[in-house]
Amino acid sequence: MKKIGLFSFLFFILAILQTSGPIFSQTNKTAEIKLIDSYAQTIDALVKRSKSPHLIFADASDFDNENAKRKWKRFNSEKEFEKARAASEFYDIAYVWRQNGKIAAANFTRSSPSGDWVHYIYHYFRPDGSLAKVESELRTFYGNLIVEQNLYFDRRGRVLKQTRRFLDLQTQKPKKPEKEFLEGNADFVRRVDYYKRTSQLPFAALLRMKQ
């Protein structure tokens, strides 16, 4: 509890610095990124300690119908989720962990019926509901790539830093994608869908349901 409280206090101080215009230097930005990484480690520890996600959400809409309205469903246990999944596969799933009653992590797993790709998008949320960090990993047979991306955000939702690297799908060693491949699949390879606040999560309304 004391550790989380300290991070919340430091986030508050950095938020004040961000409103100071030029005073918020590159040094301060670097310090905030380090703070975000430290905070993300505490959330990783929370996830690791938990035997299972606190909540699971899945989109039950028709994957092949681009115009279909999203139909998010809430599952209060892995057993409940796996039972539903046995009857019908889901291609957009979110695993959620809470800290002190508030969402701390929302890890999305997105895929397709073809099995040609899977996209993991890990969200780290601050206690105030703002997005602190996103870790994205796309694994695809298109180009035989793993695309890893990290994005850091301030409390206003502005990107502080973004990194990207390409790895070989089989060897997991650094790999330079072919130019023609990137030009033809730029949006698919580089795109990361994320949510800047917990209130913007596509299943936010379902969070108010009683267990």
Q: Identify whether 9 is part of a domain.
A: no
- Domain region containing 137: 53-208
Q: Identify whether 18 is part of a domain.
A: no
State the Cα–Cα distance between residues 36 and 161, nearest whole angstrom: 11
Q: Is this structure's pTM higher than 0.75?
A: yes
Q: Identify whether 1 is part of a domain.
A: no
Higher model confidence: residue 115 or residue 23? 115
Q: Which of 8-17, 43-52, 97-106, 116-125 has the lowest mean pLDDT?
A: 8-17
Q: Identify whether 23 is part of a domain.
A: no
Structural domain total, the chain: 1
Q: Identify whether 118 is part of a domain.
A: yes
pLDDT score recorded for residue 6: 53
Query: Are β-strands 92-99 and 159-168 bridged in parallel, bridged antiparallel, or unpaired?
Result: unpaired
Long-range contacts of 96-101 (CB under 8 A, 24+ apart): 96/53, 96/54, 96/55, 96/56, 96/57, 97/43, 97/46, 97/47, 97/50, 97/53, 97/54, 98/54, 98/55, 99/4, 99/43, 99/46, 99/127, 100/4, 100/127
Q: Identify whether 146 is part of a domain.
A: yes
Q: Identify whether 28 is part of a domain.
A: no
Q: Identify whether 97 is part of a domain.
A: yes
